[in-house]
Amino acid sequence: MIITKTPFRVSFCGGGSDMANFYEKYGGCVLSTSINKYCYISIHPYFNENQTVLKYSENELVDSPDQIKHRIFRQVLTDMGIHGVEISSTADIPGGTGLGSSSTFTVGLLNSLNCYKGKFVSKDKLAKLACEVEIEKLGNPIGKQDQYGAALGGLNFIKFNQDGSVSHEPILMEGKTYKELQKNLLMFYTGTTRSANTILAEQTKNITSEDKARNLLKMCGLAKDMKVALENNDISSFGKILDEGWQLKKELASGIANPAIDEAYEIAMKNGALGGKLLGAGGGGFLLFYCEEEKQEQLKKAIGLRELDFSFERDGTSIVYIGDKYWD
């Protein structure tokens, strides 16, 4: 048996600039971190080598990969020519919550299957392969930040270059600043999940308009400002930048926010938050706030939503267990 774990990500600033129709014209960038919530994937040979078993939110037993209903499983297993296995996927966080679950799964699956075949693949290559699967082969209207955030791990500034290449660098700061930043971040579940594709499809279409592109350019500028501030061990402006980015993001497409989300955000801002954002494409999932420690209890009581305790992580996708060798 082989088991991998791949982290979910939290994007702080610049989301949306990782879409091809934007970065191919202007270049894009995001500042994000992976967190200690994971997708786990296990794989081992199935007893009946002529069948494949898949266990996720549903169970599938198929005689050939082309019978698989799950689009990512079907694409990757077909591409890699793997059959006669049992694969299970479990996660700390449900899908549709704005933490990049689909891409985290894809990266973890590719890591698992390449290990199963006895191949080492770098984290950069896993991210690139995941982008090819989700964007090019399956045609999902998404960007590249989730794949790289999940594969690389850590707190990173990621650039999406006009030629389609991706470059990245870790954010370096003093240990005490790193710890303080984590302590000042709170995450709350809105109680709803959603498919990002509808919102992202509209956002992708809207980016061609001059005002939407201008918004994304401003969001990229904020991501760069956040990078410089953190590298200077200054987190005093972090909340303000989060808020400015959220206000710009809401204008990119309808459905990103709704009355319930706006109300929760307003309550948080009145009770100690210095800024925040809805994670992911919008419409549901998790709200993130920057709030100094002395005011956090007040905010928690006022907002009345379920809190998700989390911390940053640095490992990215990793192999946590390898049993008997099945490749030869």
**pLDDT confidence tier of residue 257, bands split at 50, 70 and 90:** confident
Residue 194 pLDDT greater than 80, yes or no: no
pLDDT at 198: 56
Which are the contacts of 47, defined by CB distance < 8 A and separation ≥ 6? none
Domains and CATH numbers, the chain: 2-172+313-326 (3.30.230.10), 175-307 (3.30.70.890)
Residue 130 pLDDT greater than 60, yes or no: yes
pLDDT by residue (tens digit) across 2-59? 999 999 999 999 999 999 999 999 999 999 999 999 999 999 999 999 999 999 999 9
**pLDDT confidence tier of residue 204, bands split at 50, 70 and 90:** low
**pLDDT confidence tier of residue 192, bands split at 50, 70 and 90:** confident
Average pLDDT, the chain: 93
Average pLDDT rounded to a whole number, residues 187-216: 71
Separation CA 99–CA 85 (nearest Å): 28
SS3 for the chain is: CEEEEEEEEEEEECCCCCCHHHHHHHCEEEEEEEEEEEEEEEEEECCCCCCEEEECCCEEEECCHHHCCCHHHHHHHHHHCCCCEEEEEEECCCCCCCCCHHHHHHHHHHHHHHHHCCCCCCHHHHHHHHHHHHHHHCCCCCCCHHHHHHHHCCEEEEEECCCCCEEEEECCCCHHHHHHHHHCEEEEECCCCCCCHHHHHHHHHHCCCHHHHHHHHHHHHHHHHHHHHHHCCCCCCHHHHHHHHHHHHCCCCCCCCCHHHHHHHHHHHHCCEEEEEECCCCCCCEEEEEECHHHHHHHHHHHCCEECCCCEECCCCEEEEECCCCCC
pLDDT at 254: 67
In this structure, what token pair is assigned to residue 179? Answer: 């710890």
Separation CA 11–CA 155 (nearest Å): 10
**pLDDT confidence tier of residue 283, bands split at 50, 70 and 90:** confident
pLDDT by residue (tens digit) across 160-178? 999 999 999 999 999 999 9
Residue 199 pLDDT greater than 60, yes or no: no
At residue 194's C-alpha, the angle toward residues 72 and 95, to 5°, is 45
pLDDT at 252: 82
Lowest mean pLDDT among 141-150, 189-198, 212-221: 189-198
**pLDDT confidence tier of residue 155, bands split at 50, 70 and 90:** very high
Percentage of the chain with pLDDT > 70? 93
pLDDT at 150: 98
Average pLDDT rounded to a whole number, residues 119-148: 97
pLDDT at 251: 86
Residue-wise burial string across 275-302, b where 16 or more C-beta atoms lie within 10 A, e elsewhere:
bbbbbbbbbbbbbbbbbeeeebeebbee
Separation CA 181–CA 211 (nearest Å): 32
At residue 115's C-alpha, the angle toward residues 111 and 116, to 5°, is 115
